[in-house]
């Protein structure tokens, strides 16, 4: 995924599409796998239903 696809421009403000990893911190996005978000760096998984 290109870095430009991780952001969205809305009303003149830049926002992130995917959440950041709570373990790794700033600059590490979590991947969207449909039913969950997963960090490729540390393996942290957050399920969307919970």
pLDDT value of position 4:
82
pLDDT value of position 39:
96
Domain boundaries, the chain: 17-50
CB 49 within 8 A of CB 26: no
Beta bridge partners of 21: none
pLDDT value of position 31:
93
- What predicted TM-score, i.e. pTM, was given to this entire model? 0.74
pLDDT value of position 30:
93
Sign for the CA dihedral angle at 25, 44, 6, 2 comes to positive
């Amino acid at each position: 995924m290109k870095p430009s696809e991780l952001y969205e421009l809305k009303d003149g403000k830049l926002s992130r599409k995917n959440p950041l990893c709570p373990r790794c911190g700033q600059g590490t996005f979590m991947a969207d796998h449909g039913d969950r978000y997963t960090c490729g760096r540390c393996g942290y998984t957050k399920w969307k239903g919970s």
